[in-house]
Amino acid sequence: MYLDVQDLRNFYYRSALGRAAQKVIRDQLVSMWPGAKGQTVAGFGFVAPLLRPYLAEARRVIALMPGPQGVMPWPPALPNVAVLCEESLWPLGTGIVDRLVVMHGLEVSDHPGALLDECWRVLGPGGRAVFIVPNRAGLWSRSDRTPFGHGRPYTPGQLEGQLKQHGFAVERSLSTLYQPPSDRRIWRRLAALLETGGRHLPVFKAGGVVFVEVSKQVFAPTRGHPVRARPRLVILPPAAQPVARGTEGAS
């Protein structure tokens, strides 16, 4: 079940915890994709907080927001790029997207298979997509005070397996958001330290969210075995007309 767009906006833009989560996830995405010059970048779910770094150089940026969630104008004070759409029927042509980000979309979808098929359709050959979902082993999926406490959490292996079933090639996976989902001042002060430690210490490997980057590989069809020509059909001449007995040699 999708969360309401107002609740998502309030979390990411109006709460200290949400702004901290936004920064960690956005910084991780930018480290994976440092640039998108001349490319079409799209996001599905509630991805607006992550797309701002690409507004200046991308050829086009599109924030797709599902109908059950609702839509908000974005970005503020700039031409709107947010679009309301059905989760499995996007107003985009086939193969036009170079980079795709999905967050707060897959884990809350009632039809995840159809959603992944639509992601595959709009992504161009060689294009890349990142799916960001709650980590089943992390703390954030256990707290319903944040958007990551709703829907179906995944382990990295579960998400990778589902993406492979829909034709994506997995490039890499990682976890992030190691700070606890708490507004307490002490945790806010230790947030940067926990994020650094989580990236380097195995004991902290269970981050709050899972990132899986995939690509769309389309292979040219290979030549089949040569087809041998069938032998020509020989039509026999018509048989001689039958002759009644006792008439042979009759004049």
* CATH number of the CATH domain containing 15: 3.40.50.150
Residues in CB range of 57: below 8 A, 6 or more apart: 35, 36, 37, 38
The conformation of residue 13, written as its DSSP 8-state character, comes to H
Q: Is residue 52 part of a domain?
A: yes
Model pLDDT, residue 124: 96
Distance CA 94, CA 41 (A): 14
Q: Over the chain (251 residues), what is each successive 10-residue block's mean pLDDT?
A: 94 92 94 94 96 95 96 93 95 97 96 97 96 92 90 94 96 89 65 60 70 86 53 52 51 43
Q: Is residue 122 part of a domain?
A: yes
Model pLDDT, residue 240: 52
Nearest to 217 by CA among 168, 154, 162, 151: 168
Q: Kindly report the pTM of this predicted structure.
A: 0.83
Distance CA 209, CA 103 (A): 10
Q: Is residue 248 part of a domain?
A: no
Tell me the residue range of the domain where 67 lies.
Answer: 5-215
Strands 97-103 and 40-45: parallel
CA-based torsion, 49, 55, 56, 58: positive or negative:
positive
Q: Is residue 17 part of a domain?
A: yes
Distance CA 100, CA 120 (A): 10
DSSP notation for 41-67: EEEEES-HHHHGGGTTTSSEEEEEEET
Could you give the number of structural domains in the chain? 1
| 2 token code pair | 């999708």
Q: Is residue 35 part of a domain?
A: yes
Q: Is residue 246 part of a domain?
A: no
Distance CA 108, CA 69 (A): 10
Distance CA 223, CA 166 (A): 25
Distance CA 191, CA 2 (A): 28
Model pLDDT, residue 1: 82
Q: Is residue 128 part of a domain?
A: yes
Model pLDDT, residue 151: 93
